[in-house]
Amino acid sequence: MNTSLESVKNYVLLGPPGSGKSTQATKLKEALSLSHVDVGSELRKLAESETDLGKRIHEVINIKKELVSDGLIGCVVEHVIKGIESDRGVLIDGAPRRISQVDEVEAALASHGRKIARVIFLDLSLEEAVKRISIRFLCLSCKKPFIKKEEMSFTCDQCGGEIGQRQDDTPEGVAKRYEVFMSETRPVIEYFEEQRILLRIDARLLPDEIFDILMKKIA
Ligand SMILES: [Zn+2]
């Protein structure tokens, strides 16, 4: 494929818990041959590596158990982008999560001649996020997932283990995660809205409907 760097499109994907972000990331990645930069999983992967960057991340997340600094987020994005073919677009997921990370992410892209074409925000209310996530249960032994139903057994049909819920998925846990995400990320959303590159999507729609809208608007 003969693609000039100018036509390579780079995207950022934002959304609160329950917005279906990973489903859309997978679909977009396949449909547009994008390289999916999942910042959270890249951090965990790098922390296991014996590189200088990996050691720095390991120190912060596993030893000090602190939040990764904005500068380090920028380093991770830069490090991952460096390894991507220049004619392939990227989909950044998990950053910038705070307004202070915007410069870092933009600089990391710019250092490889890239810029953000569109920022996709999957918008979901707190009420809807709670409704969607708090029905998620799992077997506490084998981790098989269950969706809460009227008549749900309390033992796992796979291993006989007890069925329970992750603390993060209880209504209180979801509300807490949602509030943290929104308070940190709202300024980021407003910033990209001012830049006129924000695409706000109603995440209550079905996954296929969301994907159709995305393909019409960004591809
Ligand atoms: Zn089980």
Contact present, 10 and 114 (Cβ < 8 Å)? yes
Residues with CB under 5 A from ligand 1 (ion): 139, 141-142, 144, 156, 158-159, 161
Is the pTM above the cut of 0.85? Answer: yes
Question: pLDDT digit string (tens) for 124-167?
Answer: 999 999 999 999 999 999 999 999 887 778 899 999 999 999 99
What homologous superfamily is domain 5-125+178-218 in, according to CATH?
Answer: P-loop containing nucleotide triphosphate hydrolases (3.40.50.300)
Ranges of residues in the chain whose predicted pLDDT is under 70? 1-6
Give the residue from 120, 110, 149, 99 showing the smallest Cα distance to 36. Answer: 120
Q: Is the dihedral of CA 141, 43, 89, 201 positive or negative?
A: positive
CA 23 / ligand 1 centre spacing (Å): 25
CA 165 / ligand 1 centre spacing (Å): 13
CA 170 / ligand 1 centre spacing (Å): 19
pLDDT at position 219, please?
Answer: 75
The pairing of beta strand 90-93 with beta strand 10-14:
parallel
CA 86 / ligand 1 centre spacing (Å): 45
Question: pLDDT digit string (tens) for 152-162?
Answer: 788 999 999 99
What DSSP line would sit under 123-137, residue for residue?
E--HHHHHHHHTTEE
pLDDT at position 132, please?
Answer: 94
For the chain, give every domain's residue range: 5-125+178-218
